[in-house]
Amino acid sequence: MSELDIVEKIRRLGKRGPRITLGIGDDCAIYRPRPNDELLFTADQSIEGVHFLPDQSPSIIGHNALARSLSDIAAMGGKPRFCLVSLATPPERGAKFIDAFYRGLITLARRTKTVLAGGDLARSDKIYCDVMVCGSTTRGQALRRSGARAGDLLYVSGRLGKPWGGRIEPRLELGRALRGRATSCMDLSDGLSLDLHRLCLASAVAAVVDRVPIMPRATLDRALHGGEDYELLFTLPPRKSPPRGTTLIGAIVKGRAGAVQFQGQPLVPRGYDHFVS
């Protein structure tokens, strides 16, 4: 198996069209944006031993690698357009791993209409991957973290406290439904306590949380601080009704920027931090 053979296999998974006029196999992919779009860009890494264990199913590793970035596009209310996938693997994992990884990734890519437009392949000691996704919204429509105002109500989708190693399902439809309605939005990728702290910092507000919807068999601690949820956290003005499948968990209040209370006590942001053990 040579790099040329692998690239040729991956190239067949890619697609061209009126907007992706050049895909895998040249120095760059070419994308022709629509006239009134603004483009959203995000990149997320998936690293063996940090985001997944070496014995996890390669197709779930591929699925989740793309899903992490799609979750950021969902958080801004975007529609995914294309992705670049950079993958480094130990040569001894071989073509079998690469095939299964791309099978998991491309299944999710096709379902969400995300074109595989390019990327990079290399060898490494451990499996490492980085997925960049480009999404789009109409100008001025993207949801941001910074728009929450005192008096807004605070919601999350789904239930929190998901276990490590499951399949991530990006909330793309919910994100798009929130455009023009939510005053702020972000995805929960490092735990509610840390992510809500970040949302409050970006919006220069404080928040109170009364309750959280918890996954069956999860602890409250995991629901408040676990980093595997990939649900959306968002704020609505009090007069707006929330979409189905979302739960009111609290409210935005005046106070020190970033301060969060849970059931009357300060909630310390101790979600996942890569550089603090």
One-letter amino acid at 259 equals: A
Q: Cα(218)–Cα(241) distance, rounded to whole angstroms?
A: 28
Angle at which helices 94-111 and 58-75 cross, to 10°: 30
Q: What is the β-pairing status of strands 115-123 and 79-89?
A: parallel
Least distance to its own copies from the beta carbon of 270, Å?
A: 10
- Nearer CB in complex with its own copies: 22/248: 22
Q: Cα(205)–Cα(151) distance, rounded to whole angstroms?
A: 10
- Nearer CB in complex with its own copies: 177/218: 177
- Nearer CB in complex with its own copies: 45/218: 45
Please report the sign of the dihedral spanned by the C-alpha atoms of residue 191, residue 213, residue 69, residue 242: negative
Cα three-residue angle 267-151-189, rounded to 5 degrees: 45
Least distance to its own copies from the beta carbon of 180, Å?
A: 16
Closest CA to 98 of 124, 68, 76, 70: 124
Least distance to its own copies from the beta carbon of 36, Å?
A: 9
- Nearer CB in complex with its own copies: 55/92: 92
Q: 10 Å Cβ neighbour count for 46?
A: 21
Interface residues with its own copies (CB under 8 A)? 1-4, 6, 21-22, 25-33, 35, 37-45, 47, 49-51, 72-73, 75-76, 78, 82, 84, 86, 88, 91, 117-126, 128, 130, 132, 134-135, 139, 142, 144-146, 186-187, 198, 202, 273-277
Closest CA to 29 of 116, 143, 129: 116
- Nearer CB in complex with its own copies: 150/201: 201
Q: Quick one: tokens of 130?
A: 């980085």
Least distance to its own copies from the beta carbon of 185, Å?
A: 8
- Nearer CB in complex with its own copies: 20/154: 20
- Nearer CB in complex with its own copies: 173/210: 173
Residues in contact with 80: Cβ distance below 8 Å, sequence separation at least 6, in sequence order: 70, 73, 112, 113, 114, 133, 134, 135, 172
Least distance to its own copies from the beta carbon of 206, Å?
A: 17
Least distance to its own copies from the beta carbon of 156, Å?
A: 15
Round the CA-based radius of gyration of the chain to a whole number and report it. 20
Least distance to its own copies from the beta carbon of 93, Å?
A: 10
The label of the residue with tokens 């005192």 reads 150
